[in-house]
Structure 1
Amino acid sequence: MLKLSDYVFQFLKKKGVEYAFMLPGGGAMHLDDSLGKSGIQYVCTLHEQAAAIAAEAYAQHTNKIGVCLTTSGPGATNAITGVTAGWIDSTPMFIISGQAKRADLIGNTGVRQIGSQEVQIIDMVRPITKYAVQVMDPARIRYHMERAYHEAVTGRPGPVWLSIPLDVQAAMIEPDELEAYIEEPEVKPDLTEIITKTVALLKQAKKPVILAGNGIKLANAADDFYRLLEVLPIPVLTTWKTIDMLGEDDELYVGHPGGMGDRGANLILQSADALISIGSRLDTSLTAFNEAHFGMSAQKIVVDIDQHELDRMKLTQVEAMQACDAGDYIRSLFDTVATDDEINQQIENWKSWNMYGHMLRKKYPSVTDAHRKVQGVVSAYYFTELLCQHTTVQDVIVPESSGAAGEITYQAFSPKRGQKMKNAAGLGSMGFGLPYSIGACLANERRRTVLINGDGAFQMNIQELETIVRLQLPVKIFIWNNQGYASIRSMQNNNFGGFQVASGESSGLSMPDTVKVAEAYGLKTFRIMNKQQLEEQIDNVLNTEGPVLCELMISPDETVSPRTKTIVHEDGTMESYPLEKMWPDVD
């Protein structure tokens, strides 16, 4: 006989789970005890939201399942934001929460609560999970564990959630007698038509581009993609999720488009006559809320694993769409084009187009001399340029998931191939950076991890400084002090004539002394006031051993530029400019 809670973590251990992120509680006491004895390394964060975020980061960086354990009630609800990010990012996560014992559950009584800290968590999380169930019958635990794990890692990955009542956690079971989950055979689509149409389009194309989406990574197909580029050397655009797939010096890399992408990449995208989108859901930040104008001159091939994503797209000039695994498509395309003589003849014709793409990116750089000449404070753009120069391919880069610290970093960063750079931009929640850096650092065997965080977002999970210090993680934290919510101020200035609400000290918002707070937690600290100090100190910050926090005094008025603009008309309707018309205007 075996205690059910022991079975849960023995199951995950056998699946190769190395870390679980958690915060203990009475409603999960048997689960907590079993995790502690399982051989899985548990990381205790100081808030359940942070535990879920760290689990998502770990899963994003490893393509393995991220495990999070919480107690019942508020412990479970606190994790919802991190799980929502995993749902949007297609991240495989396994959430386990405690629950009041079965005799104390609400059931169908219509009341709001019976058990201690009881909430109907499964009803809350069902829309943001692939599988969510409250385990009422101990004999079904194997079925639920096997099915949940299968759902999390197959098809379009995503979070799953099991709520386990206290008496079920403590139940004794006979593992050999448990009901199993029988997986249905996977039926893969026939790719003949989409491959045929792709090849036909390429044979006609004079200015083709590939948009490489996160589906390539989720399919573990990055190496297959690189192999495809060897026989199909056409320019590649990346998304925020795939910015680290190619380096700035890769011959075929021509940038990352979007409403806050780089101008050169947008011009290349809008000039292309053929667009092959692989594994990207073409979200609104990429299309700048203007799908019909996205890739306006291009015939399009669109591949995504989720038919629902394809069905909602409002693209024009679509040659073909296919719901399939990105890796299957890439491998099939490679097998076809590798021996196609007409494609080989086209390669020479595409070289001038690729050179044109590189010319546009050099003509419209994200970091300019104006940024480099800023005095008295630090330019966020110049800092990003210096950070690129002073980090290595071994470093892990974590931009905050919301606000200027994320937006400017992604726009201006020049990646090195192999350098990990990720966040949770799909949800775009403030407060993700610090806990995300914990999961990212552990996922990458404690490699140096560089966090770029705004002073506002940093406050939302600042308690995780203690976790970083306790674990002695080599996280180098750069805090952009731009006096509160710079992105909100910019939005208010652009839309409300400069009238500001809760975005800075003059409008009701203030921030503590970040350096003093960090020192109280035991971090080594720096404060950089201007360009000269930045140039002198950036290496010291990066190379100081252990956890480090450096506050940068960023210009409070520096905003994301260039970017596409949205105009609000007098009747309240909104009009988004197309990608090729970024603000400010240029020749």
Structure 2
Amino acid sequence: MIGAEFIVDSFLAHGLRRLFVYPGGTIAPIFDAALARGVELVTARHEQGAGYCALAAARLLGSVQVAMVTSGPGVTNIVTPVADAWFDSVPLLVISGQVGTGDLRGPRPIRQRGFQEVDAVGLLRPLTKAQFQPHSADELPEVLATALRIAAEGRPGPVLIDLPMNVQRSALSAAVAPSVQPLAPRRAPPAAAVAQLANWLAAAQRPLILAGHGVLLAQAAPALRALAQAGQIPVTQSLPALGAFPTDDALALGFHGHTGNQTAGCALQHADLLLVCGSRLDVRQTGSLSERFAAHARIVRIEADADELEHARVRCDLAIQADVGLTLTALQAALQGRTQAARTAWLARIAGWRAEFPLSWPERGALAPQQVIASANRLTRGEQVVAVSGVGAHQQWAARHFDFDVPQRVWLSSCGHGAMGFDLPVAAGAQLARPAARVLCFVGDGSLQINLQELGLIAERRLPVKIIVLDNHRLGIVSQFQKFNWPSDPTCGDKWNPDFAAIARAYGIAAWCADDVATLDAALAAALAEPGPALVHCLVDPAADVSPMLLAGQALDGMWPYREPG
């Protein structure tokens, strides 16, 4: 058995029957072995497309997925989705082809020895949990099993295997069956810490839960919901965590931080106990005044990653390094039968903030981008939905005006890395991973044009993705930042755009245009009724800004426009 055949057998031993790829010569032996073993190859139109398709499948299936690229430009082109997987904790195995071991540059003081040779290990070391470059086929059994375990274990993330061509084509010296290494057990919380937290929570009159992406990684959404409902504790969520708690629930405050909403910010600043579940509390959540974050609250953090606790931006009164799900389950047991403080006044105060700071939008005659999201939300209510967004102003509007409730209504977006171009390939990967779901791709005119070529993958496979383009002829969120700080928005405002509906039709994708409320509902309804892929090109108000917004020097309860910048 040659190395390429063993690699594919290892994938099959781990339940992987689909690979996301962009071809090239130094990875071709694995394609041949995959074809012979009935493993599906999903060929994107760019290496970013392959990486993002795999990322989407990994997010939705909760298991390691494989992206494969060739050497040289194949490696450099996949860096962005690998970074996305690194920052948002997505289990990804990246297989890169490499020149033969005899052509590797090694320690020589030269730029390159083999054609399309790139130091993939060095390039991706800062963005992966582990990196491997086997130099013989006999190393593959240990490398494959270890890499797949590391990608899934603890905080999930990407792992690289850089495969020299001769290692793929050489025979193993002995017959070896692929192995699956067991994952380390989840870390349970200390009983004393759980008891302390239970005491504090039972006595708190103004408690608040901050749910981070770690809740979803730990599959702890049911435990989170049970805790919040039993104690009538309101919940705010980080941007990547949306849906861990149903966003249309009476206790849900949406998301907080830079582009979150003022009600969540006020609750954070006036709570007397803040329970942070699986969130690193980055600057987009806390704002620049981290010393004033939740200033009146005891802060308790449940976090599996010891490094995040050690290098925290904000103070912490009780740190519990443990699995979020196990800890919330233990906390529920500790609270069982106990009387918790009355929270009627706290919930009434939050209701007052909701009335004072509604997530509404001005009526200026032009089609409001928020209206597009709200209409799509209304028309898909009750359906199983995966909502994908690119990065930009449309990402924030989708997060605010679409309802999420895992696993029925799931949100996928680039949150830690904030990468434009995330949208189309992730939507394609999501539809492949969940063929029965309604996949909606909310995308701005700027983000769409980063990976527009993936319309080819969507059309080729007739994936029934519904692409909703919010075209404001503007790179809106950067334009807004420029106008806050300078007189104009060079390079970001008044952009020329093509007819995106015409481009979709050129790919054989049904498409409609909308430029007002009357045409919007008809176009969305037609697209949703289309059995195959569809695109709706929405010409939205170019003057619409993301509002409210947390700016530098502002506390969470004093966002713009309620408090002017500066």
Distance in 1 (CA, whole Å) between partners of 2:403 and 2:178 is: 52
Tell me the residue number matched to 1:323.
321
Distance in 2 (CA, whole Å) between partners of 1:178 and 1:109 is: 37
Checking the alignment, whether the CA contact within 8 Å between 1:291 and 1:313 is kept in structure 2 is: no
The superposition leaves residues 279-322 of structure 1 with CA deviations (integer Å, 9 ceiling, x where unpaired) of 01112211123322222211110111112211222323x32112
Alignment match of 1:495 (pick from 485, 497, 516): 485
Distance in 1 (CA, whole Å) between partners of 2:351 and 2:41 is: 46
1:196 is displaced (CA, Å) by 2.1
The superposition leaves residues 91-146 of structure 1 with CA deviations (integer Å, 9 ceiling, x where unpaired) of 10011111111111111112111112111111110111111111112111111111
Checking the alignment, whether the CA contact within 8 Å between 1:273 and 1:298 is kept in structure 2 is: yes
1:186 is displaced (CA, Å) by 5.0
1:184 is displaced (CA, Å) by 9.0
Q: Which aligned pairs between 1:420-459 and structure 2 lie closer than 5 A?
A: 420-459=410-449
Checking the alignment, whether the CA contact within 8 Å between 2:48 and 2:81 is kept in structure 1 is: yes
Distance in 2 (CA, whole Å) between partners of 1:586 and 1:534 is: 34
Please give the secondary structure, in 2, of the residue aligned with 1:160: strand
Checking the alignment, whether the CA contact within 8 Å between 1:221 and 1:326 is kept in structure 2 is: yes
Please give the secondary structure, in 1, of the residue aligned with 2:340: helix
Residues 180 and 526 from structure 1, CA distance in 2 versus in 1: closer, same or farther, beyond 3 angstroms? closer
Checking the alignment, whether the CA contact within 8 Å between 1:484 and 1:511 is kept in structure 2 is: no
Residues 175 and 436 from structure 1, CA distance in 2 versus in 1: closer, same or farther, beyond 3 angstroms? farther
Q: TM-score, normalised by structure 1?
A: 0.91
Tell me the residue number matched to 1:60.
59
1:538 is displaced (CA, Å) by 2.3
Is 1:134 aligned with 2:128?
no
Alignment match of 1:564 (pick from 550, 558, 565): 550
1:212 is displaced (CA, Å) by 1.2
**What one-letter code is carried by the residue in structure 2 that aligns with 1:54?**
C
The superposition leaves residues 331-385 of structure 1 with CA deviations (integer Å, 9 ceiling, x where unpaired) of 221221124x2xxx216x12442343244224322124x2xx331x210112222
Distance in 1 (CA, whole Å) between partners of 2:187 and 2:393 is: 41
Residues 355 and 389 from structure 1, CA distance in 2 versus in 1: closer, same or farther, beyond 3 angstroms? farther
Distance in 2 (CA, whole Å) between partners of 1:53 and 1:411 is: 24
Distance in 2 (CA, whole Å) between partners of 1:227 and 1:116 is: 57
Distance in 2 (CA, whole Å) between partners of 1:556 and 1:19 is: 41
Tell me the residue number matched to 2:465.
475
Residues 223 and 18 from structure 1, CA distance in 2 versus in 1: closer, same or farther, beyond 3 angstroms? farther
Residues 540 and 325 from structure 1, CA distance in 2 versus in 1: closer, same or farther, beyond 3 angstroms? same
Q: Which aligned pairs between 1:319-468 and structure 2 lie closer than 5 A?
A: 319-339=317-337, 341=338, 345-346=339-340, 349-368=342-361, 370=362, 373-375=363-365, 377-416=366-405, 418-468=408-458
1:407 is displaced (CA, Å) by 1.5
The superposition leaves residues 222-254 of structure 1 with CA deviations (integer Å, 9 ceiling, x where unpaired) of 233334345443111112122112324424323
1:429 is displaced (CA, Å) by 0.8
Is 1:511 aligned with 2:497?
yes
Tell me the residue number matched to 1:573.
none
Q: Which aligned pairs between 1:53-452 and structure 2 lie closer than 5 A?
A: 53-173=52-172, 176-177=175-176, 188=187, 190-316=189-315, 318-339=316-337, 341=338, 345-346=339-340, 349-368=342-361, 370=362, 373-375=363-365, 377-416=366-405, 418-452=408-442
1:269 is displaced (CA, Å) by 1.6
The percent of aligned pairs where both chains have the same amino acid is 28
Distance in 2 (CA, whole Å) between partners of 1:502 and 1:81 is: 22
Distance in 2 (CA, whole Å) between partners of 1:382 and 1:426 is: 27
Distance in 2 (CA, whole Å) between partners of 1:501 and 1:39 is: 52
1:513 is displaced (CA, Å) by 2.2
Please give the secondary structure, in 1, of the residue aligned with 2:520: helix
Checking the alignment, whether the CA contact within 8 Å between 2:154 and 2:186 is kept in structure 1 is: no
1:528 is displaced (CA, Å) by 0.5
Please give the secondary structure, in 1, of the residue aligned with 2:325: helix
**What one-letter code is carried by the residue in structure 2 that aligns with 1:153?**
A
Distance in 1 (CA, whole Å) between partners of 2:183 and 2:545 is: 51
Distance in 2 (CA, whole Å) between partners of 1:335 and 1:452 is: 41
**What one-letter code is carried by the residue in structure 2 that aligns with 1:335?**
A
1:218 is displaced (CA, Å) by 0.9
Please give the secondary structure, in 1, of the residue aligned with 2:33: helix
The superposition leaves residues 35-74 of structure 1 with CA deviations (integer Å, 9 ceiling, x where unpaired) of 2233332210010011111111111122111210111111
The superposition leaves residues 453-480 of structure 1 with CA deviations (integer Å, 9 ceiling, x where unpaired) of 1111111100000100111111111111
Distance in 1 (CA, whole Å) between partners of 2:298 and 2:211 is: 16
Distance in 2 (CA, whole Å) between partners of 1:467 and 1:263 is: 40
Tell me the residue number matched to 1:40.
39
1:512 is displaced (CA, Å) by 2.3
Checking the alignment, whether the CA contact within 8 Å between 1:469 and 1:522 is kept in structure 2 is: yes
Please give the secondary structure, in 2, of the residue aligned with 1:255: strand
Please give the secondary structure, in 2, of the residue aligned with 1:411: helix
The superposition leaves residues 472-512 of structure 1 with CA deviations (integer Å, 9 ceiling, x where unpaired) of 111111111111312222222111112x321234xxx5332
Tell me how large the CA RMSD over aligned residues is.
Answer: 2.2
Distance in 2 (CA, whole Å) between partners of 1:32 and 1:413 is: 40
Please give the secondary structure, in 2, of the residue aligned with 1:172: coil
Equivalent residues, number:
563
Tell me the residue number matched to 1:571.
none
Tell me the residue number matched to 1:572.
none
Distance in 2 (CA, whole Å) between partners of 1:175 and 1:60 is: 36
**What one-letter code is carried by the residue in structure 2 that aligns with 1:513?**
D
Alignment match of 1:545 (pick from 526, 531, 537): 531
Checking the alignment, whether the CA contact within 8 Å between 1:434 and 1:461 is kept in structure 2 is: yes
Please give the secondary structure, in 2, of the residue aligned with 1:346: coil
Distance in 1 (CA, whole Å) between partners of 2:372 and 2:126 is: 40
**What one-letter code is carried by the residue in structure 2 that aligns with 1:440?**
A
1:85 is displaced (CA, Å) by 0.3
Checking the alignment, whether the CA contact within 8 Å between 1:140 and 1:178 is kept in structure 2 is: no
Please give the secondary structure, in 2, of the residue aligned with 1:407: helix
Please give the secondary structure, in 1, of the residue aligned with 2:252: coil
Distance in 2 (CA, whole Å) between partners of 1:201 and 1:12 is: 47
The superposition leaves residues 143-191 of structure 1 with CA deviations (integer Å, 9 ceiling, x where unpaired) of 1111111111111110001011111001112564589797796583652
Checking the alignment, whether the CA contact within 8 Å between 2:391 and 2:413 is kept in structure 1 is: no
Distance in 2 (CA, whole Å) between partners of 1:163 and 1:487 is: 37
Once structures 1 and 2 are overlaid, which stretch shifts more, 145-154 or 532-541?
A: 532-541
Alignment match of 2:518 (pick from 513, 517, 532): 532
Distance in 1 (CA, whole Å) between partners of 2:30 and 2:97 is: 8
